Structure 1
Amino acid sequence: VGGSIMEGGFDGAQVPDGGWGWAVAVSFFFVEVFTYGIIKSFGVFFNDLMDSFDESNSKISWIVSICVFVLTFTAPLSTVLSNRFGHRLVVMVGGLLVTTGMVMASFSQAVYHMYITVGIISGLGYCFSFLPTVTILSQYFDRRRSVVTAVASTGECFAVFAFAPAITALKESIGWRNSLLFVGLLQLNIVVCGSLLRPIIIRAPGSPKTTTQKVPLLDFSILKEKSFICYALFGLFATLGFFAPPLYIIPLGISLGIDQDRAFLLSAMAIAEVFGRIGAGLVLNKEPIRKIYIELICVILLTVSLFAFTFATEFWGLMSCSIFFGFMVGTVGGTHIPLLAEEDVVGIERMSSAAGVYVFIQSISGLAGPPLAGLLVDQSKIYSRAFYSCAAGMTMAAMCLAL
């Protein structure tokens, strides 16, 4: 592959497009399982938390909102630490933080305790775990980047498919606190995943290995480029529609009088998302193709799927909406960060810094999304209203991407 292994990593003139990159892809798969997979499955605890803490829907939703906000807001810090200390160490520390926060959360006596434990401590750990892993995976692949990243990112989908019914059954057996404790201990596997992230250095052909190029810890010059600004605004508004639907699908089913098989709505959504991610990866892997245009089509269809939830009135209608949404969110969720590596956005050379700034910009809507949806529910007492804010945000995202 035109390179050599140095100090446990890859040093060469060509992107390996394989090799140890496959181990990194497996690591990313399981990091997705124990980060976004858990975040998206957290909705199974909502009713338990409302009953235990006697709090409103919007106040409970702040747990996930703070978590997502910290995850995205600290992205530049994650980038700086990864460039300074390496991706491996940052991810392993992130795994320890995630577990610490979740274990502490199982002993919470008030909702604000979970704001600190799940929201801040685990949220910081999620950022340290996810962002460096997806960044280094993109550096290990070139021609296969889209399809490998898309397939590896299905980890969160399989997690939701498995965790939603499993945690529901576990709660009935040992209670929500012990279930949360079990989940936190399970997330220690992130540390193992981080240990697999060998560093990679891609040098220009013919450049001596003794020459070291100082890489800026964080490059804000990308904020001067129109292509990145438009793409960052797309990410800002799209985040409004990413997290609220999985959190509110089960409460919506309860409000519609669906007593059985509610957890399978999340599972069906997750399986559909697997096909969406793999399908998008295969399409975007074809050459030549303007990948941004494909992304735009997927975002428009994702907006339609969000509006469809407001018309569901029974189980199969809700199931159809869940499958439609799952497929479309898979096409967007599995590709929007790797597309930063495309030359019409910022390119692979500046992807590490761009990913940090891009995810940081998403922090605003990550904080506002679930509480805004919860506020609409609290005021109207109609859970389908939660999907209006999601659809509105995704509409704005499509407009920004079209620019």
Structure 2
Amino acid sequence: MSSTTPLETEDFDYTANRPAITLHSEYTDQPAEEQKHRSHDPYVASFPEGGLRGWMAVAGAFLTLFVGGIEYAFGVFITYYLTHNLRTYSPSQVAWIGSASAFIHSLVGLLVGKLYDDGYYRHLIIFGSTLHVLSIMMLSLCTKYWQIWITQGLMMGVATGCLFQPSVAIVSQYFERRRAFAMGIVQAGASLGGILTPIMVNKLIPKVGFGWGVRSVGFLVFGLLVIANLSVSTRLPSRRRGAATISNFPTIDWKTFFDGAFVATVLGCFFMQMGTSLPYGYITSFGQLEGHISPSLAFYLLPLTFAGGLFGSPIWAYLGDILGVLNVVMFSTFISSGLLATILACKTDGAAITVSILYGFFSAGYQAMGGPVFATLSNTVLEVGHRMGTGYFIAGVATLIASPIQGALLGTDYIWWKPIVFCVLSLVLGVVLMGVGRLLLIKRRGSERKLWKTSFVRL
């Protein structure tokens, strides 16, 4: 970021609950107590750490991610498609629909991140909300592979891409000390959507058919997105709005943007994403096809996994603010790799329930912390959109290829140990690469000496 001179200041009254924008100045005339509580951001002097507008932003973003649960719950759709209108296709071919949606979501994130930083937040969520509802309604009419791919793959991918990153990033404008916790609450919305959406669809389809079951979800999504759009507003100036009032508004310095810490950590996220997705795509099929688990329970394994994530997201996020975001992600992901290996030992209903809940809980340490990870890597909150867009794009490539690779390793004979070993190794490699990124980030911040003086560094 360009930071040769301090930015001009623009003071607002926090007690009036107005959009508070205070950019860094010299601070030479500030009382010692005010200097003590100022932010660590080089451009934004302070954050409200909540307030009415801040918690409304959290609530609205929570609802936005909740409606994205239909994407996270693609596993239940795989099971339906393989036993109904797409039964002539292989698991790998059907998995391409969900992985394509997730990849397109991440692909458009490159542009979405820039548009967010440039001040087009409102445009993005209105467009994304409209397209998301339209894609669900159109899906209810689809019967062929190419039709489902366009609606649930392409359209839903673009829609969630326009909604997800801005909804997570907007929270960073209101929080700094509790940023990871606030983002974790937002991410819990996706877990709750992942619990309720598949249950809702599974209960409605036998009664009213696939079409009206999906349309019912569409009506729910429409209502929630209306509330979300009315709840969230921006707080800080953007490059589009700030350029007119702030002469030296910071720009992205691409020479330092892709430093070693960012590259290593994003590669770590790539392999974590490659490995963490197996239960979300195939746990329902595992329960139905292995024969060791009650048929009535098999469907609920995916919602149970999301239930673990629902509780895990805010807990891991809270710990991230205290212990360090990267530390929490590495620890929880390493434990997730061990739990993933134990899936092969699930021979009873009790074991399947326990592993599903625990895996959801620990994997949430990575799933819920993507936003805080990229915020940690950012030099200032004013570049969070660019960091998220780039990071989620790289992770999205992993999402695109993960399910098809897992499906290919699984094969038509359903040999489960092959994709499980692949995913465990991916998770471990991701932890190692993120650890390298953490060390480089400490060096970037000039804190490398502390690494040898203390057994723990809060990153």
Do they fold alike, i.e. is TM over 0.5? yes
Classify the secondary structure of the residue corresponding to 1:65. Answer: helix
* 2:262 maps to 1:228: yes
Q: Is the 8 A contact 1:9 1:198 kept in 2?
A: no
Aligned mate of 2:246, from 211, 216, 234: 211
Residue 47 of structure 2 corresponds to 15
* 2:109 maps to 1:99: no
Q: Is the 8 A contact 1:73 1:362 kept in 2?
A: no
In the TM superposition, what are the counterparts of 1:189-208 in structure 2 within 5 Å?
189-201=224-236
Percent identity (aligned): 20
Q: CA deviation at 1:192?
A: 3.6
* 2:348 maps to 1:339: no
* 2:304 maps to 1:268: yes
- Alignment partners' CA distance in 2, 1:10 and 1:384: 54
Q: CA deviation at 1:146?
A: 1.6
For these two proteins, the number of residue pairs brought into alignment is 394
Residue 63 of structure 2 corresponds to 30
- Alignment partners' CA distance in 2, 1:392 and 1:263: 27
Q: CA deviation at 1:115?
A: 1.4
Gaps of 5+ in 1: none
- Alignment partners' CA distance in 1, 2:172 and 2:360: 24
Aligned mate of 1:348, from 378, 381, 388: 381
Q: Is the 8 A contact 1:10 1:198 kept in 2?
A: no
Aligned mate of 1:307, from 324, 331, 341: 341
1:197 corresponds to which letter in structure 2?
A: V
Q: CA deviation at 1:309?
A: 1.3
Residue 47 of structure 1 corresponds to 79
User: Which of these two proteins has the greater Rg computed from alpha carbons?
Assistant: 2
1:357 corresponds to which letter in structure 2?
A: T
Residue 137 of structure 1 corresponds to 171
- Alignment partners' CA distance in 1, 2:402 and 2:371: 19
- Alignment partners' CA distance in 2, 1:146 and 1:301: 20
Q: CA deviation at 1:359?
A: 0.8
Q: Is the 8 A contact 1:306 1:391 kept in 2?
A: yes
Per-residue Cα deviation, 1:188-246 (whole angstroms, up to 9, x for no partner): 2324413433122169xxx9994244455x76445531110111101111111343311
Cα 1:191–1:78 change in 2 (3 A) is farther
Classify the secondary structure of the residue corresponding to 1:74. Answer: helix
Cα 1:383–1:4 change in 2 (3 A) is farther
Residue 247 of structure 1 corresponds to 281
Residue 3 of structure 1 corresponds to 12
Cα 1:320–1:278 change in 2 (3 A) is same
- Alignment partners' CA distance in 1, 2:135 and 2:338: 36
* 2:401 maps to 1:368: yes
In the TM superposition, what are the counterparts of 1:73-88 in structure 2 within 5 Å?
73-88=107-122
Per-residue Cα deviation, 1:43-80 (whole angstroms, up to 9, x for no partner): 22223212212322111111101000001111111122
1:263 corresponds to which letter in structure 2?
A: F
- Alignment partners' CA distance in 1, 2:288 and 2:173: 44
Q: CA deviation at 1:94?
A: 0.5
TM-score normalised by structure 2 residue count? 0.79
Cα 1:102–1:386 change in 2 (3 A) is farther
* 2:215 maps to 1:185: no
- Alignment partners' CA distance in 2, 1:221 and 1:187: 41
Gaps of 5+ in 2: 1-9, 24-45, 437-459
